[in-house]
Amino acid sequence: MKLRVPSFYSDFHCIASACHDTCCAGWEVDVDVDSQARYAKVSGTFGEELRSKIVDGHFVLTANERCPFLNAQNLCEIYCHLGEKALCDICREHPRFVDVFGDVVEQGVGLCCEEAVRLLLNANAPLSFIEKEIEADEEFLDAESLDARNSMFEIRTEIFTRLADRNRSLSKRLADILQFTASFSAEEKVCPAADLRTIWKHQTAVLLQGESLGAEWDFAKSQIAQALEERGFGKGSIPWTESEGEKIVAYQIFRYFAKSLYDGDMLSKVKFAVYFFLVLQNFGGELSSVQKEPSLQICAVKLLSKQLEYSDENMDALAHAFFSNSYFSTGAFLRLLDENA
């Protein structure tokens, strides 16, 4: 089986207490059945504490929404007492993601993690990948599905190639990959005859109306709403290099584009990647208004990733908009990108 990972993947490791954020707060931490069975055998006072804080298959968070085993130094007491192998599945694997497509498995690290964002943005070259053969269970694909997968990977590779062409402006490259992907898609909604401010207001409305994943987002959301009224569509208050934008878009295409093998919707995956960066470009300052370390760019990416990518409700709302809302049509995105050119 072939494993494909971003070139920085092997450099990733949890930086624990050095992180300005923590994965162990603000999330419900599910405890898998095997881990519960292991914890049932832990002896002594710590074992009793461990079992007492698991209710209905998850750790009971503290009043300030921290995992009960996250200490004052942002270190995991389970790790400290029992070692890494004792961590439950989600704590051991998060923020990694894994997708299997027949005899190809792709792995990466979610952009809700500041160390993942740092590694992505610090690379000078366009996003690249490392492949190697591994022993793992394959997902069965019949001949027709295998052909579809290979075709999908070829299209994605062409998207990566066009996106990495630094002889053109990023706006032109983003417009190009949208039009290229649209050429493989069914006819879609026509862009409404509206000004850019109206188009952007409709696009931002889906972001602002979504499920909130915490107080940090609630504050950023209020700031975004105010900025939208004050300046409409345009450059935000923190700078983004074209290289940063290119890598962010490419990474989101890596994470989501191949899923079109199962839903047939390649275009929405590219729209999401472009939309993700347009939100960062316009509201990066607002997204980083609560936490400013280690950098405004990293804070903006990780908050937006957490709010969108880790909410099924919010991702479903965007997927529906990309497919059926004329303000999210390819033409609407092209008009916004033309303004940025």
The answer to pTM > 0.85 is yes
pLDDT, residue 221, reads 96
pLDDT, residue 214, reads 85
Pick from 216, 212, 226: nearest CA to 289: 216
pLDDT, residue 325, reads 94
Question: pLDDT (tens digit, 0 to 9) for every residue of the chain, 341 residues total?
Answer: 999 999 999 999 888 778 888 777 777 788 989 998 999 899 899 888 988 988 888 888 888 888 888 988 888 888 898 888 889 888 888 889 999 999 999 999 999 999 999 999 998 899 999 999 999 888 899 999 999 999 999 999 999 999 999 999 999 999 999 999 999 988 677 888 889 999 999 999 999 999 998 889 999 999 999 999 998 888 788 999 999 999 999 999 999 999 999 999 999 999 999 999 999 999 999 999 988 888 999 999 999 999 999 999 999 999 999 999 999 999 999 999 997 76
What's the per-residue H, E or C state across the chain?
A: CEEEEECCHHHCCCCHHHCCCCCCECCCCECCHHHHHHHCCCCHHHHHHHHHCEECCEECCCCCCECCCECCCCCEHHHHHHCHHHCCHHHHHCCEEEEEECCEEEEEECCCCHHHHHHHHHCCCCCCEEEEECCCCCCCCCHHHHHHHHHHHHHHHHHHHHHCCCCCCHHHHHHHHHHHHHCCCCCCCCCCCCCHHHHHHHHHHHHHCCCCCCHHHHHHHHHHHHHHHHHCCCCCCCCCCHHHHHHHHHHHHHHHHHHHHHHCCHHHHHHHHHHHHHHHHHHHHHHCCCCCCCCHHHHHHHHHHHHHHCCHHHHHHHHHHHHHCHHHCHHHHHHHHHHHC
pLDDT, residue 225, reads 95
pLDDT, residue 341, reads 61
CA dihedral 124, 251, 205, 284 (to 10 degrees): -20
